[in-house]
C-alpha cells in the first residue's frame, strides 16, 4: 500500500454496527462486562479506548512499526520511555534538542538518579567516547530543533548495537512521510502528535512507535499505570488529520523551499538553515536519509534581540507562537520561547542566539508568505 493510501486507510475499518466510515468518538470512561471476568476487549478507557486503538494501529502502520501507543502530550510520551530506566542509568542525547526534552532530563529526571549528557551527534567519534556501561538509550532528533542539523541515524544505530544500547528518534519534524527511523535501524520512534501528524493546531498529544513486543508491553504497562492518555476526541481529530498528511507535507515543503531561498538573499540575515538547500552543511546526508526536507526553516538575523523584536512585530501571516506543523505559518524565537528553559550559556554554545528565528512554514500561498516576510524585514 502506497503511503498516501495508508494515510487514509491504515488501521481504519468501517464501524461494524452502523457502517460509519469515520471511526466514532467512543466518549466513555468504562465498559459494561457481560459477566464476571469476561469483557468485550475493553474495561476502562485509561487502559484502552476503541478510538485510541484505531489511532495507535494507524500510526504504527505509517511508521512501519508493529505497535503504537498514544499519550496526552509529546512530553508524556518521552517521559514514559524514560520511565523504563532506573536510577543510575544514563541517557545520551544530541545537544540540539527541544527545550522541553532538555528540561525533563536535567531538571526532573536527574533528581531521580537518571543521568544524561547532551553532545554533538554529528561527530560519531564523540558518541562512541561518551557511551559508558550505564548508558541505556541514545536519543536523536533529526533534523534537530531548532538548528536543523541532520544526524546520520544508521551510523548512530551501528554504534549503539556495539554497546547494547537502544536508539530512539524524535521524528516530529519529518513525519513518516519524509523519514522512517525504524527502517533505518532505530528501536523507538517518538512524535508530538500536536504537530504535523494532526496538522491543525487543535490537539496536544504524543506517540511512541516500536516493533519489539517486550518493550511494547513494558511501555503499555507504564501508559496504563501513569494514565497520561489522550481523550477519545483528541484521537479522533488526529485520525482526521492523518488523512491529509501526505498532501500537507508536500505543500509545507514546497513553501519552505520558497521561503528558504528568499531568506538566503537577504542582507539582514547571517545564515539560513533548511535541509533542502545545497548550502546546508549536511544536504547530501539529508538527501540520502530522507525522501524530503520538511517545512521548518531557521535563520539568524543580524542585530540580535532588538532586530528580532522588530522583525516579529512586522509579521502578520506568520503568527508569533510556540509549536509547529499546523496548516498556518508560525514564527518562534527559540531563546525566549521554546528553548528558554535551556541555560543561556548552553544556548550560546549551541548557536541558539538572540537573533535566531525558527519558522514553521504553513500551506498558505507562498506569495503571501513572502510578502509577509518582506513587511517584517522593512520593520526590522
Q: Any idea which residues carry the catalytic annotation? A: 46, 98, 170, 195
Going by their DSSP bridges, the two strands 166-170 and 356-360 should be labelled as: unpaired
DSSP code, position 109: I
Report the C-alpha gap between 14 and 20 in whole angstroms. Answer: 5
Provide the grid cell at 87.
536510577
Helix then strand then coil, % of the chain, to nearest 5: 40, 15, 45
In whole angstroms, what is the distance from residue 89 CA to residue 25 CA?
40
Q: Give SS3 for 338.
A: coil
Is the separation of the CB atoms in 302 and 270 below 8 Å?
Answer: yes
CB 80 within 8 A of CB 223: yes
| CA 50 to the chain's CA centroid | 24
Length of the chain as a residue count: 380
How far apart (Å, rounded) are the C-alpha atoms in residues 69 and 159? Answer: 27
Compute the distance between CA of residue 249 and CA of residue 246 in angstroms, rounded to an integer: 5
At 43, list the grid cell: 474495561
Neighbouring CB atoms inside 10 A of 107's CB total 10
Amino acid at each position: 500500500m502506497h503511503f498516501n493510501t495508508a494515510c487514509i486507510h491504515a488501521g481504519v475499518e468501517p464501524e461494524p454496527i452502523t457502517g460509519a466510515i469515520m471511526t466514532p468518538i467512543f466518549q466513555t470512561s468504562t465498559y459494561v462486562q457481560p459477566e464476571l471476568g469476561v469483557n468485550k476487549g475493553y474495561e476502562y478507557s485509561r487502559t484502552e479506548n476503541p478510538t485510541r486503538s484505531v489511532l495507535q494501529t494507524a500510526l504504527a502502520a505509517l511508521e512501519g512499526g508493529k505497535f503504537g501507543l498514544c499519550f496526552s502530550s509529546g512530553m508524556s510520551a518521552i517521559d514514559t520511555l524514560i520511565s523504563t530506566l532506573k536510577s543510575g542509568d544514563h541517557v545520551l542525547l544530541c545537544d540540539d534538542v527541544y527545550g522541553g526534552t532538555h528540561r525533563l532530563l536535567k531538571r526532573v529526571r536527574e533528581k531521580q538518579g537518571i543521568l544524561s549528557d547532551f553532545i554533538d551527534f554529528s561527530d560519531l567519534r564523540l558518541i562512541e567516547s561518551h557511551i559508558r556501561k550505564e548508558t541505556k538509550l541514545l536519543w536523536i532528533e533529526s533534523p534537530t530543533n531548532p538548528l536543523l542539523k541532520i544526524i546520520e541515524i544508521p551510523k548512530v544505530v551501528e554504534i549503539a548495537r556495539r554497546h547494547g544500547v537502544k536508539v530512539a528518534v524524535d521524528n516530529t519534524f519529518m513525519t513518516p512521510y519524509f523519514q522512517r527511523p525504524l527502517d533505518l535501524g532505530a528501536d523507538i520512534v517518538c512524535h508530538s502528535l500536536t504537530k504535523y501528524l494532526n496538522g491543525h493546531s487543535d490537539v496536544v498529544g504524543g506517540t511512541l512507535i516500536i516493533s519489539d513486543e517486550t518493550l511494547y508491553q513494558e511501555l503499555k504497562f507504564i501508559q496504563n499505570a501513569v494514565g497520561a492518555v489522550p481523550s477519545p476526541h483528541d484521537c479522533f481529530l488526529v485520525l482526521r488529520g492523518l488523512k491529509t498528511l501526505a498532501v500537507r507535507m508536500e505543500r509545507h515543503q514546497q513553501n519552505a523551499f520558497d521561503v528558504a531561498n528568499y531568506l538566503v538573499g537577504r542582507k539582514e540575515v547571517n545564515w539560513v538553515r533548511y535541509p533542502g538547500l545545497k548550502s546546508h552543511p549536511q544536504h547530501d546526508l539529508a538527501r540520502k536519509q530522507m525522501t524530503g526536507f520538511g517545512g521548518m526553516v531557521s535563520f539568524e538575523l543580524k542585530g540580535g534581540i532588538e532586530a528580532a523584536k522588530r522583525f516579529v512585530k512586522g509579521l502578520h501571516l506568520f503568527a508569533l507562537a510556540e509549536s509547529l506543523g499546523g496548516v498556518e505559518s508560525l514564527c518562534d524565537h527559540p531563546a525566549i520561547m521554546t528553548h528558554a528553559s535551556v541555560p543561556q550559556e548552553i544556548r550560546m554554545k549551541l548557536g541558539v542566539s538572540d537573533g535566531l528565528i525558527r519558522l514553521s512554514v504553513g500551506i498558505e500561498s507562498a506569495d503571501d508568505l513572502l510578502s509577509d516576510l518582506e513587511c517584517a524585514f522593512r520593520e526590522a
